[in-house]
Amino acid sequence: MTSSNNSKLLNNKFWKILATLDSLNQDVSLSELCHHFSDGTKEEDILEVLAFMRKFDFPLKAHKREGKTWLTFERKKSRISMELSLSEWLSLQAHFPLLDSYKGREVYNTLATRLKRIEARHPEFDLYRILEEEDQLNRVHDLIPQNKEQTLSDINEAILHGELLYLKTGEDSTTEVYAHKVVFLEGVLSLIAEDTNDRCLVCLDFDQIESCYRVADHRYKPNFVGQEVDDFIMAMRSITGNEERLVLRISAPEKINLKPQFHFMGSPYVTTNTEGEFIWAASVEVSEELFKWIESIKDEVEILDPQEIKQEFEDYLKNKTQSDPLKKAS
């Protein structure tokens, strides 16, 4: 398994052996380790990679014992830690698409798996989620009347800064609320807030809000926390019967936003399968807006369950294509 220096790390067999040796936590015989690989790996192949790792002071050493070659640890393995500032982490994420040129190689899989874990631990610093939210916000702005854009912007700012809102919803009808979320319910953009008078959660149709006024200086303490607001949204959906548990297989989670703006994903759960693919599940409202979101990421995901949503999504794409023959021809 001789490789030139410039191609050694791109050799799948070489890197697979390297990653396996790095993952060992106990002594192992060389012959036993060969049986671990199913690609005809020989003892000399493993020893070649080990010799390379020893140049980095890796504490695994080969020696003879009872007629066999054993790989044993001389000491505890060293770990390489790296702390990043916000700008450094965002810069690293910006380079993720460049890594795709090595997709399918073992050297790529090692790094991608690690970066996915880091991303999952720090969703608040997800660069692509924020960029996708900005794109979605722009798309939503394209759908709403121009005279409503400022209202939506003010509501989002109030949510961000914990401000109160005075809402005008009709002739001489005003309401003071503490806003929590803007989401789609039954395909309608809605504001989830708590009425400051009775301190109860309310759901307001965005189209019914004529104007709003932000109040930054107040002493109101919200009566509900995030989980309680989420439970309220899920209860609203259960009443309409539109809620389903959506399960997706994701090939490139670093490319998509699993928290799209104005979409409420209840009780999200993420795990990985044996092939390193991400499996994501969440309670969603079945609507055209949901299908629009799935369509925007369809190259990176596959609907695993429920089959009814998968079929409805395929019908949605088929109907959209039929209603847009020019797009189909292109």
Query: pLDDT tens for residues 240-252?
Result: 666 788 888 887 7
The b/e string for 287-320 (b: 16+ C-beta within 10 A; e otherwise) is: bebbbbbbebbeebbebeeeeebbebbeebeeee
Give the architecture (CATH level 2) of 127-238: Roll (2.30)
Query: pLDDT tens for residues 110-147?
Result: 888 888 888 878 877 888 877 776 776 666 666 677 77
Angle between helices 86-94 and 127-143 (to 10 degrees): 80
The pLDDT value given to residue 137 = 63
Question: Is the confidence at residue 294, as pLDDT, over 80?
Answer: yes
Kindly state the average pLDDT of the residues 295-302: 85
Query: Distance from first CA to last CA of the chain, Å, rounded?
Result: 47
Beta bridge partners of 301: 250
Angle between helices 149-161 and 127-143 (to 10 degrees): 150
C-alpha dist (Å) from residue 94 to 89, 132, 254: 9, 13, 10
CATH class of 243-322: alpha beta
User: Is 312 strand, coil or helix?
Assistant: helix
Contact 262, 183 (CB under 8 A): yes
Higher pLDDT, 113 or 21: 21
Question: Where is average pLDDT lowest: 119-133, 264-278, 283-297?
Answer: 264-278
Q: What would the CATH number be for the domain defined by 8-73?
A: 1.10.10
If you compute the radius of gyration of the chain from its CA atoms, what whole number of angstroms results?
Answer: 27
DSSP 101: G
Q: What is the pTM of this model?
A: 0.48
The pLDDT value given to residue 325 = 41
C-alpha dist (Å) from residue 101 to 94, 98, 184, 202: 14, 6, 37, 49
Q: Domain boundaries in the chain? A: 8-73, 86-125, 127-238, 243-322
Query: How many angstroms separate the CA atoms of 276 and 251, rounded?
Result: 9
Higher pLDDT, 171 or 53: 53
The pLDDT value given to residue 6 = 58
Contact 191, 182 (CB under 8 A): yes
Question: Is the confidence at residue 50, as pLDDT, over 90?
Answer: yes
Kindly state the average pLDDT of the residues 70-94: 90
Contact 140, 132 (CB under 8 A): no
